[in-house]
Amino acid sequence: MIHKKNNTFLFFSQWFNRSKEANLSYSTMSIIIVMSISTTVAEMFGLGIFLPIFQYMKTDGDLEILVSESVVWEYIISIFKFASVDISLLALLFISFFFFLGRQVFTYMRVVFKSAVTYRLVKELRDKLFSKYLNADTTFHDSTSIGSISNVIVVESIGAIQTLMQPLEMVTYLIMAIGYLSILFLLSWQMTAVSIIVLSFASLAPSVWIKRSSQVGRGLVKANIKLSAFLLARLKSPRLVRLASTQQAEKDEFNRLTQNQRKKSTYSSILLARTDSALEPLIIGLSLIFLYISYTYFNMQIEMIGLYLVVALRMMPVSKGIISQWQSIQSSLGSMEIVENKLDSMEVSKEIDTGVLQFNKIKQSVDLLDVSYCYPIREDDALKNITIKFKVNEITAIVGPSGSGKSTLIDLLPRLRLPKVGSIRVDGIDIAKYKLKSLRQLIAYVPQFPQIFDGTIRNHIHYGKSDASSEEIIEAARLAGAEDFINQLPKKFDTELGEDAVRLSGGQRQRLDLARALLAHTSILILDEPTSNLDAESEEMFKRVLTQIHKDTNTIIIVISHRLASIVDAEQIIVMNKGNVEMLGTHSELLNKKGWYAEAWTMQNPITK
């Protein structure tokens, strides 16, 4: 019992903090509570006036008897006199109707206001989650499944806000209950005492179910997350599943997950329904027993009993509401916890931007000095004491077996990952000193598998520079070798691309994305495996493009490539192996040395030389 009290106390102190965190202001809470009070007051008057109505009917409207029987009538008579209206049964009934109408207006306003607040908070929470997700560092993104984070943003956010709003609803019910109890108190204090006892008993009865609700709620959140994570991964790669002929296994696994989710959801609803159903007969039963006792032993007046019945009936959903709201809170607490958990871990992994300097242009070079990097979950370093130089107006190619650290190296330049030791300098100044945004604006990066958002071709290229003119866009497309295929599309630059641009081939996507990168005219251009999706002809074209950019701009070009033929002209070729720079030189220098490069070259070009 003490344990339970502590829990409740803890819940409310946390609730205040959470409300503050979610921007649920005291004034908003107050408005909701004031509306609840208004509803209750209107209802109390609407119900309360039935006592004089019954009395009026019993005495056939004899005002003298009525005044002598109760003080209430003195007030009623003076109010009617003030309004210069004759007292009649119709007038009294009309007043009661008027109060109920008022109650309904207040209820409507409260519901509308509460919904507006709820959805505003859900929206703000989603915005906050998304923004924190974008602000988190690469390590966080590496370790978070998009299925789980999307579930938290879309689904659990609603549950989380409900745990904030439901206590207000509970307070609403509590206020109403106090209102009803006050009427009962006016009727008879014995009745009130018994009603309170009835309510307390009723609220204890479903405590087991309520406790179970919070456990099931947490389980449900886990089930939802597992389901979304699994689903998103499979939705993204139906081809893989089909080509591997693992449809049946995937279906079975999905079936298991939906089954688990179904069980938890159903059980959660059953628990809520149990409380709901058990409370009603309990309250009615106890009320009827009390009614019997008060009639048989206390000789209560019939109009009192009538009013009591009315109040008891009205009060039932309210007292039920208090308890079932509490249970709903418990069952959605899991959602709040997972949202907080994600918010916290994203806050901890927040990308730190302590730089103050603003970039202008790179004049000479970018240097890596003795740089090592280690993935948090790995023991050995993915990059080991790397010292290299990328010069302006030069193409640097990075080659080497897969897993040798090429992509990791690239991630260090825009500070997507931070070196464990060593430093990276631009014209001699550590890049940590620059503002992240200004550093990243220096770099255009074309990944191996470009991500193309929904929208038009033009929009995609625009992503590189939002204020570019139409001419610039066409020019960038031409330079990237994308103009020809774009002009063959039905609406040319205004062609809508479906999700992930499925209608473009791999090579076309890369060229489109290259256009985006070129449009930005950045000082550093990084291309990861640009020729992996290209045929021999496009590869030739790509080489020409590269030479063209090389001549025209003051850029550092970094190309990661498996196809050595596409990078023979590079001023510098870096051969990576197991996190080390194994060799470094021009094509002919490397060919003359024994090692990975010469072997790979012979394997890829068996006839030449």
Residues that bind Mg ion (CB under 5 A): 407
Question: How far, in Å, CA of 196 to CA of 505, rounded?
Answer: 73
Q: Choosing among Mg ion, ligand ADP, none, which partner's interface includes residue 408 (Cβ < 5 to 8 Å by kind)?
A: ligand ADP
- Cα separations in angstroms, 259 against 159, 232, 247, 249: 21, 17, 18, 15
Whether residue 405 contacts residue 382, with contact meaning beta carbons closer than 8 Å, is answered with: yes
Which CB, 135 or 533, lies closer to Mg ion?
533
Stretch 263-322 residues interacting with ligand ADP (CB under 6 A): none
**3-state per-residue secondary structure call for 131-199:** HHHHHECHHHHHHCCHHHHHHHHHHHHHHHHHHHHHHHHHHHHHHHHHHHHHHHHHHCHHHHHHHHHHH
Cβ of residue 157: shortest distance to Mg ion, in angstroms?
35
Two tokens, residue 203: 């609220």
Nearer to ligand ADP, 157 or 408 (CB): 408
Find the shortest distance in angstroms from Cβ 257 to Mg ion. Answer: 32
Three-point CA angle 595, 601, 606, nearest 5°: 125
Cβ-based neighbour number of residue 28 at 10 Å: 18
Closest Cα to residue 101, out of 397, 61, 109? 109
The one of Mg ion, ligand ADP, none whose footprint includes residue 377, by CB under 5 to 8 A per kind, is ligand ADP
Nearer to ligand ADP, 404 or 522 (CB): 404
Residues contacting ligand ADP: total by CB under 6 A: 12
Task: Give the range of 154-162, 230-238, 273-281, 377-385 binding ligand ADP by CB under 6 A.
Answer: 377-385
Q: Closer to ligand ADP by CB, 407 or 532: give it.
A: 407
Spatial contact of 582 and 575, defined as CB atoms under 8 Å apart: yes
Q: Per-residue x/- marks for ligand ADP, 528-567, CB under 6 A?
A: ----------------------------------------
Rule CB under 6 A: say whether 375 interacts with ligand ADP. Answer: yes
Indicate which single residue of 17, 402, 469, 588 sits in contact with ligand ADP (rule: CB under 6 A). Answer: 402
Minimum distance between the CB of residue 142 and ligand ADP, rounded to whole angstroms? 4
- Please state the closest distance from residue 144 (CB atom) to ligand ADP, in A: 11
Angle at 165 between CA 161 and CA 167, to 5 degrees: 130
Alpha-carbon gap, residue 398 to 572, rounded angstroms? 9
* 6/451 with CB nearer ligand ADP: 451
Contact code string over 315-354 relative to ligand ADP, x by CB under 6 A: ----------------------------------------
Q: How far apart are CA 7 and CA 609, in angstroms?
A: 79
d(CA 127, CA 153): 9
Nearer to ligand ADP, 238 or 595 (CB): 595
- Could you tell me the two tokens for 514? 């290259």
What the block records as the tokens of 336 is 């709040």
Nearest distance from C-beta of residue 407 to ligand ADP, angstroms: 3
The least distance separating Mg ion from the CB of residue 560, rounded to whole angstroms, comes to: 7
Q: Write each residue from 107 to 146 as x if it is in contact with ligand ADP (CB under 6 A), else as -, in one continuous string.
A: -----------------------------------x----
Among ligand ADP, Mg ion, none, the one that 404 touches (CB under a kind-dependent 5 to 8 A) is: ligand ADP
Residue 526 pairs with which residues in a beta bridge?
A: 445, 558
Q: Facing residues of 395 across strands?
A: 557
Shortest distance (Å) from residue 567 CB to ligand ADP:
15
Sequential DSSP letters for 29-85: HHHHHHHHHHHHHHHHHHHHTHHHHHHHHHTTT-HHHHHHH-HHHHHHHHHHHHTT-
273: closest CA among 213, 218, 223?
A: 213
**Nearest distance from residue 373's CB to Mg ion, in Å?**
14
Q: For helices 50-58 and 89-135, what crossing angle results, to 10°? A: 170
Q: Determine the 3-state secondary structure of 200 from DSSP.
A: helix
Q: State the Cα–Cα distance between residues 174 and 383, nearest whole angstrom.
A: 63
Q: Where are the beta strands (DSSP E) in 64-203?
A: none
Told to check if 379 binds ligand ADP by CB under 6 A, we report no
CA distances to 507, 517, 603 from 456, in Å: 18, 16, 41
- Shortest gap between Cβ of 579 and Mg ion (angstroms)? 13
Judge contact between 383 and 371, C-beta under 8 A: yes
Beta carbons within 8 Å of 558's beta carbon, 6+ residues apart: 390, 395, 396, 397, 398, 410, 524, 525, 526, 527
In whole angstroms, the minimum distance from the beta carbon of 7 to ligand ADP comes to 40
- Bridge partners (DSSP) of residue 448 are none
| Residue 403 near which of ligand ADP, Mg ion, none (CB within 5-8 Å, type-dependent) | ligand ADP
Q: Give the range of 121-129, 339-347, 397-405, 548-556 binding ligand ADP by CB under 6 A.
A: 397-405
Site for ligand ADP (CB under 6 A): which residue of 136, 382, 426, 549?
382
CB nearer to ligand ADP: pick between 80 and 375: 375
Nearer to ligand ADP, 403 or 455 (CB): 403
Asked if 408 touches ligand ADP (CB under 6 A), the answer is: yes
Which of the ranges 103-111, 312-320, 404-412, 544-552 carries the binding residues for ligand ADP, by CB under 6 A? 404-412
Residue 142 interacts with, from ligand ADP, Mg ion, none (CB under 5-8 Å by kind): ligand ADP
Query: Of 103, 212, 320, 406, which lies in the binding site for ligand ADP, with binding defined by CB under 6 A?
Result: 406
Which stretches within 299-405 are classed as H helix? 302-348
Site residues (vs ligand ADP, CB under 6 A): 142, 375, 377-378, 382, 402-408
